[in-house]
Structure 1
Amino acid sequence: MGTQRPLRVGIFVFDDAEELDIVGPYEVLTWWAGHSALRPEVVTFSADGAGVRCAKGLRLVPERSTQDVGPLHVLVYPGGRGTRPLTRDSEHLDWVRTMRVQTPLIASVCTGALVLAAAGLLAGRPATTHWNAFDELAMIDRSVLADTEARFVDDGDVVTSAGVSAGIDMALHLVARLDSVEEARAVRRGIQYDPAPPV
């Protein structure tokens, strides 16, 4: 990722984004930022810098807009029902393509993969999404090599994760990739993430 500028991670937020798609990776990445010698910066931003209302009603006020977020090393793109209109928004898809050119790593959570596919970023590539959205993914781009089993798929410059809580797994993977496995394990311990579902 280079040493020219500090490592910067941006999490894009929008109306009707799934809450955990945002705050799961945010918790992982900001815990890492607060404890790693790399001191990465994690920022949230929306299209216009205004607050957003997530899918279940949580309201978030991002730090920046797309215009002033600045250069990123990693873009995290969450999912949720708000992705559907964005898959048909040509101006937004142009922005996603521009970010792809400017940003070394794009990572989607859940149905954020639908927007990446609509922008052409997943053509002919392995990817995953929420278990209930694979038909939608195929309708957008049948060339995507859908992985219906993986919690996340790392295809180099694009990483996709399965639904909702899988974004936490993907974010831990990003820490391991950008920093170290030891640091990712420290984050996992720090946030006490040790899945053992009671049901």
Structure 2
Amino acid sequence: MHPGGSGTRALAKDVRHLEWLRQLHEQGTGLASVCTGSLVLAAAGLAAARPATTHRDPLDRLAALGPSVDVRAREPYGDDGGIATSAGVPAGIDMALHRVTRYGGSEASELTRTGIQYEAREPVAD
């Protein structure tokens, strides 16, 4: 999970960090980001030809990081099975529950949601 926020902006230009993310992906590590963390994944080339989103304010920056990024401006998260990105922080929770459902099933997702006392805005799909 790659965080967003102003503290991560420099990582989008950190060659070593971007290479590390690419290596993780090549090794089969499932990567995800919350909010503007998607800008870092896109800077590493990992959002190319994938659905991706970020906080509403820097959507134009996400699109500028790669012409093939499938920017999903109105969706809370994008996930093609390899890379997942979310819009703002609440959407990050929805995306995380979606991933729990994908890897652990609906019961695991429901237990997680209940455990963190989170009321999803809409049902989290499998």
TM-score w.r.t. length of structure 1: 0.57
Which of 33, 41, 60 in structure 2 is aligned with 1:116? Answer: 41
Which of 109, 116, 124 in structure 2 is aligned with 1:191? Answer: 116
Runs (5+) with no aligned partner, structure 2: 122-126
Check the 8 A contact 1:83/1:114 in 2, yes or no.
no
- Aligned mates of 1:120, 1:188 — CA distance in 2: 32
Percent identity (aligned): 52
Which of 158, 169, 174 in structure 1 is aligned with 2:94? Answer: 169
Structure 2 match to 1:152 = 77
| Number of aligned positions between the proteins | 121
Counterpart mapping for 1:18-33 below 5 A: none
SS of the equivalent of 2:88 reads coil
Counterpart mapping for 1:36-75 below 5 A: none
SS of the equivalent of 1:165 reads helix
Check the 8 A contact 1:110/1:162 in 2, yes or no.
yes
TM-score w.r.t. length of structure 2: 0.88
Structure 1 or 2, whichever has the larger Rg, is: 1
Structure with bigger helix share is: 2
Structure with bigger strand share is: 1
Structure 1 match to 2:124 = none
- Aligned mates of 2:100, 2:20 — CA distance in 1: 26
Structure 1 residue 136 displacement after superposition: 1.0
Runs (5+) with no aligned partner, structure 1: 1-75
SS of the equivalent of 1:87 reads helix
- Aligned mates of 1:100, 1:195 — CA distance in 2: 29
